[in-house]
Amino acid sequence: MVGKKAKRTRRHGTVMTGADMIIQVIADEGIDTIFGYSGGAILPTYDAIFRYNSDNPNKNIKLVVPANEQGAGFMAAGYARSTGKVGVSIVTSGPGATNSATPIRDCMSDSIPMVLISGQVARASIGTDAFQEAPVFSLMSSCAKHVFLVKDPEEMASTIRTAFQIARSGRPGPVVIDVPKDVQNWEGPYDSENVLQLHGYQDRVKKMTHQKMPKKDADTFLKLLKHSRRPLLYVGGGAVIGNASKELHTFMKQFQIPAVTTLMGIGAIDTQSDLCLDMLGMHGSAYGNYAVDECDMLIALGARFDDRVAGLPKEFAANAVIAHIDIDAAEIGKVKPVDWHYVGDAAMVLRGLNKAGKDWKIEHKQWLRHVAAMKKKYAFNFNRESDVIQPQAVLETLNTLTKGDAIIVTGVGQHQMFSAQYFDFKHPRSWITSGSMGTMGFGLPAAVGAQAANPGKLVIDVDGDGSLRMNIGELETCTNYDLPVKVLLMNNQADGMVLQWQTLYYGSRFSGTDKTLHMKDFVKSAEADGFKFAQRVSNYEDLQPALEAFISFDGPAFLEVRVDKSAFVYPMVGPGLPYRDMITGPHIEGRDTESREDTLNSSSSF
């Protein structure tokens, strides 16, 4: 909890430098890996890492140095997303900090706990346009959950400690600490227990942490649920972040309610469950979107009604009573008016509702039969007759091999959506992707971070040729640290998602998206970066054997699969359109407006 003192350690009062204090607090916080790139203004802290590891041979903090500071930020994000722990990146001033702006904003958008420590020029030089000076506080204030500029060296340890508490408490997010070089070099007694006092924030977090749902609130919700004939859960990333998966499964089974998830909510529910209707939204399942259209009660859990889900808010779940559970009060009613809401931790709220509802007889058998039939009728599908490898076929085949147990990380684009559609996930934090920011170049470094955090797990980066190019330098990071990341490149020689939009909405004018003139040999690039397994597949005959060898290889592995450039992501709900205008494409069965109205009329008797 923010504001709570840490336990005093044996090093309390020991005279050390400000840089030593940074590393000591990181160690006290239980962080075992730091990602970052050195430079002049952060050299004292990098020297402190070396000395800390020399003095603590049995409790080393691993340092992973990327090709670029943006890579370090995404590695820290992959570490955090796959574990729930705070990811840490340490970079130098100026360009080191500005290169970190994108991963900081990416973490803020997806509520990911991260601490970025950036070096800064000495206090006396701030504001003089000194060498490698950047206005980090101003720049990051609009990107991060909180930003500190450490001017008082006596507050060094308490500031670092407070940053960790802010990053992981309430609605998690990234915290930036800008540390002038002379503050790093300052010497003084180490304070191992104090934190800064941020009373307003601390009071809100304390209230959410300790409150229990009042009986009247639970009863109001349960009355709405009992009256409902077609309830549907709309599960967002907050269910994963809030570690609410266990309580969510209990809730779904107890009240027999099916669920759709957002892109960030994938993994909160076992996708193989009969009650899981998979992802909703712009590229969600047809059956999931139809269920949203038909439901008479929509229960949003840790979701925020973003534009990729509720494209036309007044038409989204237009026939439903809206209940909204979220830890952030600012999200309630922001996009869609609600009929019932509760601000609190997702797991805590579900525990309260599960307990309160034990004596309520609530079931929805007819609705469940209906959604099960839709799930079968409107299933994902693709062109299975083509001689050209379809990207969906690659992932469908890989899914049969991984059986829902791998950590899947993606870049951004068509391959990201295909992965969300065709992989199974049994556990939370096994799906890692850039959601709200949609940052190309995220996949490879995030996979490095996830692998560093989960050394015994199979970690696969599913990437596209455009997205991989953005941070391709991190291939060498895999081999430098012998991290057995599996990099699956689905190469369609295009910016596939943009090309899809250009085809559908811009008269097939492919401005800037055709990559056929690009000459990069990705396999040779991987070999040059030390990959012992680097192969290319261009036909179906070789696909499954290559995938089997790829995931079983002992070490980093790279597999490029040449896929069909004309394979589009369906279903697709156009921007700002209602679900009734969803395009299901040539291979997924859909229904017209007339059949939709017939279904809505017949389902009213459920």
Catalytic residues: 69, 131-132, 181, 497
Residue with tokens 């007694």: 189
Q: Which residues contact 59 (CB under 8 A, 6 or more apart)?
A: 27
- Please state, in angstroms and rounded to a whole number, the distance separating the CA atoms of residues 8 and 22: 16
Q: Write out the E strands in 387-492.
A: 407-410, 431-432, 459-464, 486-491
Helix runs in 424-481, H state only = 443-453, 465-470, 475-480
Chain length of the chain: 606
- Exposure of 95 by Cβ count < 10 A (0-12 exposed, 13-18 middle, 19+ buried)? middle
The answer to whether the CB of 192 falls within 8 A of the CB of 9 is yes
Angle formed by the axes of helices 443-453 and 69-83, to 10°? 50
| Angle (CA) 446 43 137, round 5° | 65
**For residue 571, cis peptide bond before it (omega within 30 degrees of 0):** yes
- Exposure of 586 by Cβ count < 10 A (0-12 exposed, 13-18 middle, 19+ buried)? exposed
Which amino acid, one-letter code, is at 73? G
The answer to whether the CB of 336 falls within 8 A of the CB of 313 is yes
Residue with tokens 């759709």: 260
- Please state, in angstroms and rounded to a whole number, the distance separating the CA atoms of residues 239 and 266: 9
Chain-centroid distance, C-alpha 532: 30
- Please state, in angstroms and rounded to a whole number, the distance separating the CA atoms of residues 175 and 134: 17
The answer to whether the CB of 175 falls within 8 A of the CB of 163 is yes
- Exposure of 20 by Cβ count < 10 A (0-12 exposed, 13-18 middle, 19+ buried)? buried
Q: Write out the E strands in 40-189.
A: 62-64, 87-91, 114-120, 146-149, 174-180, 187-189
DSSP class per residue in 234-276? EE-HHHHHTT-HHHHHHHHHHHT--EEE-TTTTTSS-TTSTTE
Angle formed by the axes of helices 215-227 and 346-356, to 10°? 70
